[in-house]
Amino acid sequence: MGNGSVDGESGGSGGPERADGAGRTAAAAADDVLALLSDLLPVLAPHALLDREERRLVLLVDGAHATVDLEPLLSACRGRPQHTWPRRVEEWLAATAEGSAAALRERRRLGGDVESRLRVRLVPPLPGPERRRLMCLPYGPLLDVVIHLDHPAEPGPLSRERAVQLALADPGEAAITGTLRREVPTFSVHDEPLGGTGEDGDRVRVVARDGNPYVTGVLFDLERFVPAEERPRGLLVGLPCHSRVLLYAVRGEALLRVAPVMAAQVREEFDAAPDGCDPRLFWWHEDRLYELRRGRLTGRPRVPWALRSLLR
């Protein structure tokens, strides 16, 4: 996500194999642009390093290295008259250097290593305009993963515009890594009785940390909290608030008894929470989430077809 980075990496890929107006394939045109860039760099940016194989350019900007994806330049030249390329290369290089310098200034203002400040929060699916504005990615069809900048100067969701301003090459990967390494180890874990099921042994595992808005990130590392051998049929998952997650290892038909009670608890906690996340109850199995709804007439859980064999 993003098309450049400061002290980072980003990759590019060639276009499809089709001919341009001069009869050259996209690959041949890209090679010609790279050759032109190589010839012009000693004059336009003598300290830059060109990686033709990876299609990246490393610029020296204010004492730091900015790694830039060349695909935007290749796309801008592709299909256009070759005599216009030198001017396009010069203009692109000037704009890229200016943008990288501005990004470096912003990153330094925020302490330099902005990537280490990125975190993730899972939320119900965002409306289209919000999804286009923010840096986010889907967690299946039922949830979105929103990237946050956890910095006292500007905390909150990271917009796509801001990601470009900060030259964040892959904020998604950095945010997941930051959450797993810096937040998840600080969460508390304990089991609570699940009252109302009629069975004393029904307990729900609670992962929480008061005031921490990133606890829902545990969905990227459930093994840490419920080992695989304890959940062969998957887990019931509740995300009532951003600072608290409920987990229950499915045990066959016991789910029919437990699910309504756990669903009610998730809804109750969601309604009472100042940081409410999602009132729904989910069944997680083999890295996929299913919504577990209740039948209108029976009140019993409506088990998705793909999971019904797990009740045996």
Question: With 60 as the cut, is the pLDDT of residue 43 above it?
Answer: yes
* pLDDT surpasses 50 at 253: yes
Instruction: Name the most confidently modeled range: 62-71, 150-159, 262-271.
Output: 262-271
Residue-wise pLDDT tens digits, 70-96: 888 999 898 889 999 999 999 988 888
pLDDT for 3 equals 39
pLDDT for res 174:
93
pLDDT for the residue 24:
63
Helix (H) or strand (E) holding 153: none
- Tell whether pTM > 0.75: no
Per-residue pLDDT of 29-39, as tens digits, reads: 889 999 999 99
Q: Alpha-carbon distance 235 to 251, whole Å?
A: 9
Higher pLDDT, 279 or 287: 279
For 169-196, what is the mean pLDDT? Answer: 92
Q: Measured between alpha carbons, how far is residue 219 from residues 25, 142, 143, 244 in Å?
A: 45, 13, 11, 12
